[in-house]
Structure 1
Amino acid sequence: MELRRKFLKGGASAALLAPLLGTGLLVPGRAWAANEWKRNAFTARSSADALKNLGIAAAMESRDVVINAPEIAENGAKVEVEISSKLPNTRSLLLLADKNPMPLCAEINFAGAALPYAKVQLKMAETMRIRAIVRTADGKTHVAFREIKVTLGGCGG
């Protein structure tokens, strides 16, 4: 009976994914091959180390990088943050929470004319400054900051 359930469950999943595989929208292994896992950046213990591992030396502050986040987060276990860029030819958005044990929270890469927007849920143990970094196709790096006050910590605090 257990084997039958597993088979049926797996068959249903495969049936849902088959059309995506057939159209080429979902290609196994393509995401990992296109962009190597950046373990050193994502496991860095400080924002400076994470940025160094990503090859980002300096970024100029810009009003074209927009962070939409609550001023006060009632529960640090789930803080919704939206980041977007009004800069032309945006190629990646990065989100860092400076006081988190591992500050680099997300890196989202874009190709072509994709809308540079992301909505990310963070865990924050305490009140801290977050930063959104945008890299453009011409190699320039831009940054915006936002302070979020946390009333109840979400990282075991």
Structure 2
Amino acid sequence: MSQARPKTQSRRALLASGTGAALAIALRPVRAAAATRTESTTDAIRRFAGEAPIAPGRVTLDLPPLVENGNAVTITVSVESPMNEADHVRRIALFNEKNPQPNVITVHLGPRAGRAAITTRIRLADTQRITAIAETSDGRYWSASADAIVTLAACLEG
């Protein structure tokens, strides 16, 4: 018994057909769109805190000062707070200067959270300052900032 062997097409014939052309277009390298800044960091912070004063202190921002790869930078933010009904952290937000979206993340907390701390990974487009701001239950805002030197940037075109 002989088995029929499936007919194969050459690459040129496959590309000449509509399916091959569509496949070639789908598999071509895709360039990232140019980063378009929608608002400034200052505007994003004001949108978060309104006109309330933001004082330094109570917030600890932990990130590596030298980042080899900006694609995944681990950041930890913690806030000094007893986290009880009378005194707790409502929100923690992270902001950066050079990414297309300056408000990286906003986390809502309550007194039952236990600790006012978050850990996340973000992408950094370039060397820049990162700012963490916490809103406490009494309506006050606290902040900390840190600089990160990025040797291999993320979020770049081409």
TM-score range, shorter chain: 0.5 to 0.7
**Could you tell me which amino acid in structure 1 is paired with residue 43 of structure 2?**
D
Structure 1 partner of 2:95: 96
Structure 1 gap segments, 5+ residues each: 1-42
Q: CA deviation at 1:44?
A: 4.5
Structure 2 gap segments, 5+ residues each: 1-36, 83-87
Contact 1:46 1:101 in 2 (8 A): no
| Structure 1 position 69 matched with structure 2 position 69 | no
Pairwise mapping of residues 7-156 of structure 1 onto structure 2 (< 5 A)? Answer: 44-57=38-51, 58-62=53-57, 64-88=58-82, 89-114=88-113, 115-156=115-156
**Could you tell me which amino acid in structure 1 is paired with residue 128 of structure 2?**
M
Q: Percent identity?
A: 28
SS in 2 for 1:105: strand
Structure with the bigger percentage of helix: 1
Provide the C-alpha distance between the structure 2 equivalents of 1:118 and 1:130, rounded to a whole number of angstroms: 15
Alpha-carbon distance change, 147 to 134 in structure 1, aligned in 2, over 3 angstroms: same
Q: Which moved more, 1:72-81 or 1:46-55?
A: 46-55
Provide the C-alpha distance between the structure 2 equivalents of 1:138 and 1:101, rounded to a whole number of angstroms: 32
Alpha-carbon distance change, 79 to 59 in structure 1, aligned in 2, over 3 angstroms: same
Q: CA deviation at 1:122?
A: 1.0
Q: CA deviation at 1:76?
A: 0.6
Structure 1 partner of 2:5: none
Runs of 4+ in structure 1 over 3 Å off: none
Provide the C-alpha distance between the structure 2 equivalents of 1:55 and 1:76, rounded to a whole number of angstroms: 27
Superposed CA deviations along residues 68-114 of structure 1, whole A, max 9, x for unmatched, are 11010000111110001013411111101122121100100111231
Q: CA deviation at 1:138?
A: 0.3
**Could you tell me which amino acid in structure 2 is paired with residue 102 of structure 1?**
Q
User: Of the two, which has the highest radius of gyration?
Assistant: 2
RMSD: 1.6
SS in 1 for 2:46: helix
Q: Which structure has the higher relative contact order (CA within 8 Å, separation 6+)? A: 2
Provide the C-alpha distance between the structure 1 equivalents of 2:95 and 2:118, rounded to a whole number of angstroms: 13
Contact 1:69 1:82 in 2 (8 A): yes
